[in-house]
Amino acid sequence: MEPPTRPSPADPLDTRPPAFSPGEAADIAERIFGLTGSTSPLDSERDQNFRFTSDAQRSFLLKISNGADDPAVLEMQTQAMLHIAHQDPGLPVMQPLTTLEGGYHGEVEGAGGDKQLVRLFTFVPGRAVDTVELSPSARRGFGSMVARMGLALRGFFHPAGGYRILWDLKHTPQLRPLLEAVPGGRRYLVEQVLERFEERVRTVLPSLRAQLIHNDLTLDNVLLDDVQRVTGIVDFGDLTHTAVICDLAIALVSLTWHTSDPLEASRQVINGYTSISLIEEGEADVLADLVLARLAALVLIANWRVIRYPENAAYITANQEIAWRLLEHFDSLTWPKVQACMRAACLRAPESSDPGPRPSIEELLERRRRALGPALSPLSYQTPLHLLRGDGSHVFDHEGNAYLDAYNNVPVAGHCHPRVVAAIAEQSSALNTNTRYLHESVVELAERLVATMPPGLDTVMFFNSGSEANDIAWRLATAYTGRAGGIVTAHAYHGVTTATAALSPEEWGDSERAPYIATIPAPDGYRGPHRREEQGGAGRYATHFDEAVATLESRGFRPAALFADSLFTSDGIFAPPATYLQELVRRVRRAGCLFVADEVQCGFGRSGSHLWSFQAAGVAPDFVTLGKPMGNGHPVAAVVTRAEIAERFASHSDVFSTFGGNPVACRAALAVLDVLEQEGLQDRARVVGRHLRSSLETVMKRHRSIGDVRGAGLLIGVDLVHDRGTRRPTPRLAHALTNRMKERGVLVGSTGPDGNVLKIRPPLVLTTHEADVISQTLDACLDELEAAAPGEGFESCPAGEP
Ligand code: PMP
């Protein structure tokens, strides 16, 4: 195609945006989508955008497209958004809503009588932070998002994909006519970019991997939260079929905008990208030239548009000056150097290094079976997951598929949080010994933990696992009281050692019940003997403690300790009223028994209201045991107790663990406490947890097989039943659902004595968008299972039924 002397008249860049008033836009939303509400205008280069707030206070993006936009192209953009949501549900891409007529587009007539398409999208959270310098981990996260977008769109095709848009970097040579409008002083910079493009890129580009790409992944269109994680991806207006690497070039320009060291910032973004997708050599060769071409396009197109639309000058030229300065900066470094640096970053092994060819799933399974044997807990899911990488709330398998991790509570700060990783790496390269030497980290960690506990809990000892922590608590409790009996809830889990397995009815086989352990029912206000809607509700469960004491006494034992997980995770997830724990602890004390609050699973902010779940009841335990999330995956655990209890034990013995409380473990735990504080993760657990609970309750309205949704913060149980009348559990549905949700890219588990309660306990960095992905996936999987097996008890609710 011959280069045009200027953009074609049909190009939306050359056509005025629609100009409806906010009131007219609200009328349009009502007529086309049946929603009433109010609108406020948002910026746009060529469309008209409004934030539409419905009467039910839900926000949407109302987009009235430029009359010159081809309807087929808009349809392609809509389909692409749906496709991405299907391929990688964790990418927070805005989603189109259906019109009253059932399509995704409505039509309005503009002032000049031309037809303009109207679409309504979900309003994704976050802010466009295009004037702030991003942190290195945020740049890396952005880079990995760009690669995931490429992967998610890899198999997408649409007949309109070949449409021509000036922002497509392959059209760079066609920008040459726009040079005329550039003032003389800096024009040579852009001329050089165009020349280099002719020489180095033009002939190579058609040989590179190409597909439909977003083509505008910038800080204008990718929204971030307060800790600079991606929460929203909007504006698919530049989607086109071109070289995949262009998405990275465009992102690089945006992310080096406000940095003191653009090359280092680029390296970080590229590193995030290559942690997900390989960059081919040919792509690496031209990346820097594509970055320069993007900068040239920004200054040239802005210049040309200002002349056409002087009234929009402020918006159009906002970034033009920065683009010039970046061009000058790269020029001063010399362009070959820029090219060499970016090339090297592209071809360097990703920081999570690739060990080369991997065994197939079948081969690994067989080797695992032979080497690890059958006694170890089995693999999750019918088709096991072979995971290689984690990032925030996502994990990635050996084929690069992304999974939203709604199951693993250990990476409380998000998988591989850079701060925790750095703390571990730094300390490992300095020193790792044991607690028989003085070290500041272990003391500091103990002090910081004590500061979070109720008064009196002033002594901390470190171990390696939750089981060890509970084992030691048991030893100390029996030594202190001189008694040998224990009380636990009926399906509790407290550990894997001999002593803690005895405290774990979940693990008991028929003959493994120890005579010195008695059980009490968990405070199940849904299915158990005391229902939450009855007077006194689940609080009445505390009375069963006295029966357990009597049972122990009838067997010749007196109770040394009650062990309880304050959110009863293994029992089926219950958050009883505060009166329950208060009354339970009162009875514990009356019986001369000690109370061990096992926070191994529910601690570190998960409940949303407090750092430690027992705090919601305002009780003071004698022991608090910590583990799992404490090191975000690095083994570290602790027992917190009263000095008096530790002193009584010390009078005849002491405890030492070779690895427990070593400097590396302590640095990991300190970093976790820092991240929890600085990223406000406990608050996030509360806010996002509330959002998730309510969206799961909405799903429950559609499906009779959900009997109950319960929990606290980001520990949520979805109780699956044959029917709501009998509340009979259906573990088969839980099993089918966990597998099907995994196939759709969302990981959840199951719990409870019958295994029928879906266990949702994601890393606390979960966003509200990701929470929606969980509930939407559950909804869709229930729909599928109900359709596939009618009459199996997997039934949806007829409309309107409670
Ligand atoms: N207590 C509770 C409540 C737990 O959930 C667990 C682990 N599931 C443990 C103790 C034991 O922890 P670990 O596996 O680290 O030994």
DSSP 294-320: HHHHHHHHHHHHHHH-GGGHHHHHTTH
Q: Which residue has the tokens 């099907």?
A: 740
Q: Which atom of ligand 1 is nearest to the CA of 637?
A: 15
* pLDDT confidence band for 427 (50 / 70 / 90): very high
According to the model, what pLDDT value does residue 2 have?
Answer: 31
Minimum CA distance residue for ligand 1 atom 10: 494
Q: How far is the CA of 763 from the centre of ligand 1 (A)?
A: 17
Rg (CA), the chain: 30
Q: How far is Cα 266 from Cα 15, in angstroms, rounded to an integer?
A: 34
According to the model, what pLDDT value does residue 113 have?
Answer: 80
Kindly report, residue by residue over 690-707, the tens digit of the pLDDT: 999 999 999 999 999 999
Task: Give the strand pairing for 746-747 and 749-751.
Answer: unpaired
According to the model, what pLDDT value does residue 596 have?
Answer: 98
Task: Give the strand pairing for 715-720 and 594-598.
Answer: unpaired
Region 486-514: mean pLDDT is 93
Ligand 1 pocket test, pick from 407, 408, 467 with the greatest ligand atom count within 8 Å of Cβ, gives 467
Q: How far is Cα 258 from Cα 478, in angstroms, rounded to an integer?
A: 61
According to the model, what pLDDT value does residue 258 have?
Answer: 83
According to the model, what pLDDT value does residue 790 have?
Answer: 61
According to the model, what pLDDT value does residue 105 have?
Answer: 94
According to the model, what pLDDT value does residue 354 have?
Answer: 46
* pLDDT confidence band for 58 (50 / 70 / 90): confident
Q: How far is Cα 257 from Cα 269, in angstroms, rounded to an integer?
A: 13
Task: Give the strand pairing for 715-720 and 757-760.
Answer: antiparallel
Q: Is the dihedral of CA 271, 273, 276, 277 positive or negative?
A: negative
Kindly report, residue by residue over 279-305, the tens digit of the pLDDT: 999 999 999 999 999 999 999 988 888
Q: Which residue has the tokens 């406490």?
A: 673
Q: Is 598 in the pocket of ligand 1 (CB under 6 A)?
A: yes
Q: What is the DSSP letter of 122?
A: E
Q: How far is Cα 217 from Cα 205, in angstroms, rounded to an integer?
A: 20
- Residue 604, amino acid: F
Distance, CA of 402 to chain centre:
11
According to the model, what pLDDT value does residue 90 have?
Answer: 83
Q: Looking at the predicted structure, is the pLDDT value of residue 183 above 90?
A: no
Of 533 and 441, the structure prediction assigns the larger pLDDT to 441
Tokens of 423: 């703390």
Q: Is 467 in the pocket of ligand 1 (CB under 6 A)?
A: yes
Q: Looking at the predicted structure, is the pLDDT value of residue 797 above 60?
A: no
* pLDDT confidence band for 792 (50 / 70 / 90): low
Region 215-241: mean pLDDT is 92
Which stretch of DSSP H or E encloses residue 709? strand 706-712
According to the model, what pLDDT value does residue 349 have?
Answer: 65
Of 57 and 773, the structure prediction assigns the larger pLDDT to 773
Task: Give the strand pairing for 715-720 and 394-397.
Answer: unpaired
According to the model, what pLDDT value does residue 7 have?
Answer: 42
Of 92-106, 357-371, 404-418, give the lowest mean pLDDT range.
357-371
Please report how many Cα atoms fall inside a 13 Å half-sphere around the Cα of residue 638, on the Cβ side: 29
Of 79, 348, 322, nearest to 218 (Cα)?
Answer: 322
Kindly report, residue by residue over 571-613, the tens digit of the pLDDT: 999 999 999 999 999 999 999 999 999 999 999 999 999 999 9
Tokens of 619: 């009780």
Minimum CA distance residue for ligand 1 atom 1: 494
Of 107-111, 349-353, 675-679, give the lowest mean pLDDT range.
349-353
According to the model, what pLDDT value does residue 353 have?
Answer: 43
Task: Give the strand pairing for 485-489 and 459-463.
Answer: unpaired
Q: Looking at the predicted structure, is the pLDDT value of residue 667 above 90?
A: yes
* pLDDT confidence band for 37 (50 / 70 / 90): very high
Phi (first) and psi of residue 353, to 5 degrees:
-65, 145
CA distances from 778 to 450, 546, 663, 737, 739 (A): 40, 41, 42, 8, 11
Of 320 and 48, the structure prediction assigns the larger pLDDT to 48
Q: How far is the CA of 245 from the centre of ligand 1 (A)?
A: 45
**Is this model's pTM higher than 0.75 or not?**
no
CA distances from 487 to 550, 558, 597 (A): 11, 10, 12
Kindly report, residue by residue over 526-565, the tens digit of the pLDDT: 999 999 988 888 889 999 999 999 999 999 999 999 999 9
Q: Are 498 and 663 a contacting pair, CB within 8 Å?
A: no
Q: Which residues does 694 contact at the CB level (< 8 Å), separation at least 6?
A: none
According to the model, what pLDDT value does residue 88 have?
Answer: 86
According to the model, what pLDDT value does residue 421 have?
Answer: 86
Q: Is 629 in the pocket of ligand 1 (CB under 6 A)?
A: no
- Residue 654, amino acid: D
* Helices of type H across 204-244: none
- The per-residue pLDDT of the chain, averaged, comes to 91
Of 16 and 351, the structure prediction assigns the larger pLDDT to 16
Q: Is 122 in the pocket of ligand 1 (CB under 6 A)?
A: no
Q: Are 182 and 303 a contacting pair, CB within 8 Å?
A: yes
Helix 281-308 and helix 184-196, axial crossing angle in degrees, nearest 10: 150
According to the model, what pLDDT value does residue 794 have?
Answer: 61
Share of the chain above pLDDT 70, in %: 95
Region 338-347: mean pLDDT is 91
Kindly report, residue by residue over 382-403, the tens digit of the pLDDT: 999 999 888 889 998 887 788 9
Q: Which residues does 113 contact at the CB level (< 8 Å), separation at least 6?
A: none
Tokens of 518: 């008695």
Tokens of 528: 């158990």
Ligand 1 pocket test, pick from 562, 600, 606, 759 with the greatest ligand atom count within 8 Å of Cβ, gives 600
Of 63-77, 94-108, 306-320, 536-550, give the lowest mean pLDDT range.
306-320
If one counts every other C-beta atom within 10 angstroms of the C-beta of residue 350, the result is 18
Adjacency order of strands within the sheet including 459-463: 459-463, 637-641, 623-626, 594-598, 559-564, 485-489, 517-520
Q: What is the DSSP letter of 633?
A: T
Region 354-372: mean pLDDT is 82
* pLDDT confidence band for 10 (50 / 70 / 90): very low
